[in-house]
Structure 1
Amino acid sequence: MSKILIFGNSGSGKSTLAKRFSIKNCMAHLDLDTIAWQVTSPPIRTPISESAIQINDFITLNDSWVVEGCYSDLLQLVMEEADEIIFLNLSVKDCIKNAKNRPWEPHKYKSKEAQDANLTMLINWISRYPEREKIISLKKHM
């Protein structure tokens, strides 16, 4: 029975590592992106109280799990329950390279083309990770 939390910048390899753990060890996998945002256009952050309920349900229903994401407010809700915490602190350059090479994430985008249309914004977002002050930042992750 393992309970693993993985966090870091966008493009740091969180999803890839979480999927590997999940498949190899038959663990449930929760990508915090799937509960952090409401399905609206433009996306709106889900209230933390609602995300907390979803996280609690997930960790209660699963004996072994891996949770991954970059939202420090949501990470705090999982940290006490985790047996292992992994901080993927790659360079911005490596995160951008990974983002450019990432496979299609069907749980986030309707198509590979829709994902790629978001790439310029994502690269800009990744590059500001060391300077940001809010919940998705190197400062908060440290």
Structure 2
Amino acid sequence: MIKTLIFGNSGSGKSTLAKMLSEQNNLAHLDLDSIAWQPLTPEQSVPTRMPLTESESLIKSFLAQNSSWVIEGCYSDLLALLLDKAQEVIFLNLSVDDCIVNAKNRAWEPHKYESEEAQNANLDMLINWISEYPNRDDHFSQKSHLALFNRFSGKKEMRTSNK
């Protein structure tokens, strides 16, 4: 049984690593992006976070259905709900510059964007978001990820490179 949490900045390689581990070890894979946001409605132009209790319910459902898993994301509030269930954590603590390069080179993510053009139209905002990682003081910050990493007492690894 494998239960791994992967977290870090946007563009750090969380999804890529999680997909690789999932395929190599036949693990269920949960991208927290898929349960962190409410679906956009035609009236909305800005995504809204799903209430934490709703995301928590979806996490519990995923855990009930899967004994071995890899879960990835940048949401410290959601990751904290999983910390005592994980056997291993991997903190992808890459430089901002490396994350920006990864974001610019990422393939289209159809589960997040309706088209490659829509993804590319969001790139400037994403690069700005990535750049703020070391300075933010929220659930998405380097500070909150480091606190999670330090709090975890099991097997853990901090990677500063995708190599």
- Check whether TM > 0.5: yes
Give me the CA root mean square deviation: 0.7
Q: 1:111, CA displacement in angstroms?
A: 1.2
Q: Which amino acid aligns with 1:5?
A: L
Which residue matches 1:33? 33
Is residue 88 of structure 1 aligned with residue 92 of structure 2?
yes
Kindly, what percent of the aligned residue pairs are identical? 65
Q: 1:16, CA displacement in angstroms?
A: 0.2
Higher CA-based Rg: 2
Using the alignment, how far apart are the partners of 1:118 and 1:81 within structure 2?
34
In the alignment, structure 1 segments of 5+ residues that lack a partner are none
Q: Which amino acid aligns with 2:19?
A: K
After superposing on structure 2, the runs of 4+ consecutive aligned residues of structure 1 that deviate more than 2 Å are none
Using the alignment, how far apart are the partners of 1:62 and 1:4 within structure 2?
12
In the alignment, structure 2 segments of 5+ residues that lack a partner are 147-163
Is residue 107 of structure 1 aligned with residue 111 of structure 2?
yes
Using the alignment, how far apart are the partners of 2:22 and 2:112 within structure 1?
18
2:57 to 50, 53, 56: 53
> What is the total number of aligned residue pairs between the two structures?
142
2:126 to 117, 122, 139: 122
* SS of 1:96 mapped into structure 2: helix
Is residue 3 of structure 1 aligned with residue 21 of structure 2?
no
Using the alignment, how far apart are the partners of 1:113 and 1:23 within structure 2?
28
Is residue 132 of structure 1 aligned with residue 136 of structure 2?
yes
Q: Normalised by the size of structure 2, how large is the TM-score?
A: 0.86
Q: 1:63, CA displacement in angstroms?
A: 1.1
* SS of 2:85 mapped into structure 1: coil
Q: Normalised by the size of structure 1, how large is the TM-score?
A: 0.98
